[in-house]
Amino acid sequence: MNIHQSTRTYAQQQDQTDPLRTFREQFLIPEKDGQPQLYFCGNSLGLQPKSAREAIEREMNVWQNHGVEGWFEGDQPWLYYHKYCKETLAEIVGAKPSEVCPMNNLTVNLHLMLTSFYQPKGDRTRILTVAGDFPSDQYALETHVRSRGLDPSEVILAVKPQEGEYTLQTEAILNAIRENERSLALVMMSGLHYYTGQVFNMKAIAAEAQKWGIRVGFDLAHAAGNAPLHLHDWGVDFAVWCSYKYLNSGPGGVSGSFVHEKNHDANLPRLAGWWGYDEDRRFEMTPGFVPMPGADGWQLSTPTILALAVHRASLAIFAEAGMRNLRNKSVKLTGYLEFLLKGINGEFDNPITIMTPTEPEARGCQLSLLVRKDGKKLFDDLTQNQIIGDWREPNCIRLAPTPLYNTFEEVWQVGEVIREFYQ
Ligand SMILES: *Cc1c(COP(=O)(O)O)cnc(C)c1O
């Protein structure tokens, strides 16, 4: 299937006809020795939007000029700051604005959601997840289960890939749900696996879980702003994500939560704080927790306005570009990287195994490469050539061409450096 060509001219042509080509100008590209780097690490920390500094500056000025009145005064009072992010966040994850709220940080939000949605009762105590999920999620599940007086080794059921495979078949996950439907209280897993780059079939997983009355939640750290999401329509109970990866909202920036509308009036158990209290009465400071309707009711603390300001500035770029357009470019850009790697494999006796699935529906922008030999040498060679990827011991290189700021020409350059390495 020769849809692409491995020439610089071809890559440049793709950039010239790319409807999103100007968005790169909205970002600060890290430089080394006066040269812009080829940044393929948006899966770990997205680049800084040029508008971020100004957004912080604005709130610094409000603080300087109004002090505490900044919470209530001006055209964008801090009190409602989370609301300024809702519409775009809802679009990104496929939700209603009332179902999403930027808040806290990811692992914190995961614990908060587990408190509400993990309700072991009788025989139904188990949690189904995927093997090798991100460590923080594993630790969260393990300790959360323990905090309920249960034994993680009995309760947590991790679905593994079949012998000799790197990724999971959807059917294996669905079967595991079916086979354990009586003992499962919750399905909780990544929507996009951080290591392999696989996007799980969340729609099918949510449908299967719901069929048996099992709740389902996803960690979308690698999926938000990257893969198509329709959380509301899929009937997902809850989701959490961070904003510093594809959402470009700065290191440790504010994270997000989704709570499906069907759960808003369910009077679920929760760990509450005053920022989740009914906004109109929050400052009455009366006892007895009255939650805000929707996802907002899971907020705990006074939000970090400076982090929200950056988040909002970054989300504005997503609103302008549109998730559908971003995804269209992403499929092409990652497809081009895959095409070049396959060419290299053909030329040099398959030195690289692409762990990430080939079907666009089963991946986001990241490709995870297993390098048969001298993986670290190849990675160092990429770094020397100003290509920033991500290295995982013992032999994995992850590269994430992101549609907002990476170009086809950069992808071509990556291919050239790898080809020359094997020559
Ligand atoms: C990046 C990532 C995290 C990080 O969690 P923080 O609480 O933001 O540090 C957790 N889970 C997954 C799946 C991730 O990809």
Tens-place pLDDT, residues 227-251? 999 999 999 999 999 999 999 999 9
- Domains in the chain, please, with CATH? 8-49+323-422 (3.90.1150.10), 82-302 (3.40.640.10)
- Given a cut of 70, whether residue 363 has pLDDT beyond it is yes
- Let me know: does 196 contact 368? Beta carbons within 8 Å: yes
pLDDT of residue 75: 87
- Given a cut of 70, whether residue 1 has pLDDT beyond it is no
- Given a cut of 90, whether residue 366 has pLDDT beyond it is yes
Give yes or no for residue 196 CB within 6 A of ligand 1: no
From the number of C-beta atoms within 10 Å of its C-beta (0-12, 13-18, 19+), residue 245 rates as buried
For residue 44, report the distance from its CA to the centre of ligand 1, in Å.
10
How would residue 282 be classed by pLDDT, with cut points 50, 70 and 90? confident
User: For 378-390, what is each residue's pLDDT tens digit?
Assistant: 999 999 999 999 9
User: For 37-94, what is each residue's pLDDT tens digit?
Assistant: 999 999 999 999 999 999 999 999 999 999 999 999 888 999 999 999 999 999 999 9
Give yes or no for residue 107 CB within 6 A of ligand 1: yes
Pairing of strands 35-36, 31-32: antiparallel
pLDDT mean over 187-194: 98
Give me the percent of the chain exceeding a pLDDT of 90. 96
- Given a cut of 70, whether residue 321 has pLDDT beyond it is yes
- Let me know: does 187 contact 197? Beta carbons within 8 Å: no
Average pLDDT, the chain: 97
Q: Which residue has the tokens 């770029």?
A: 317
User: Which one-letter amino acid corresponds to residue 166?
Assistant: Y
The binding site for pyridoxal 5'-phosphate consists of: 106-107, 134-137, 219, 222, 244, 274, 302
pLDDT of residue 120: 97
Torsion (CA) 295, 365, 156, 294 in degrees, nearest 10: 10
For residue 163, report the distance from its CA to the centre of ligand 1, in Å.
27
Give yes or no for residue 137 CB within 6 A of ligand 1: yes
pLDDT mean over 96-124: 98
Give yes or no for residue 45 CB within 6 A of ligand 1: no
- Let me know: does 136 contact 111? Beta carbons within 8 Å: no
Give yes or no for residue 386 CB within 6 A of ligand 1: no
pLDDT of residue 2: 60
Q: Which of 45, 199, 222, 242 has the most ligand 1 atoms within 8 A of CB, as the residue to mutate? A: 242
pLDDT of residue 3: 83
Q: Which residue has the tokens 């409602």?
A: 80
pLDDT of residue 284: 86
Give yes or no for residue 194 CB within 6 A of ligand 1: yes
User: Which one-letter amino acid corresponds to residue 206?
Assistant: A
User: For 192-206, what is each residue's pLDDT tens digit?
Assistant: 999 999 999 999 999
- Given a cut of 90, whether residue 364 has pLDDT beyond it is yes
Kindly state the tokens that stand for 304: 């970090």
Preceding peptide of 394 cis, ω within 30°: yes
Give yes or no for residue 93 CB within 6 A of ligand 1: no
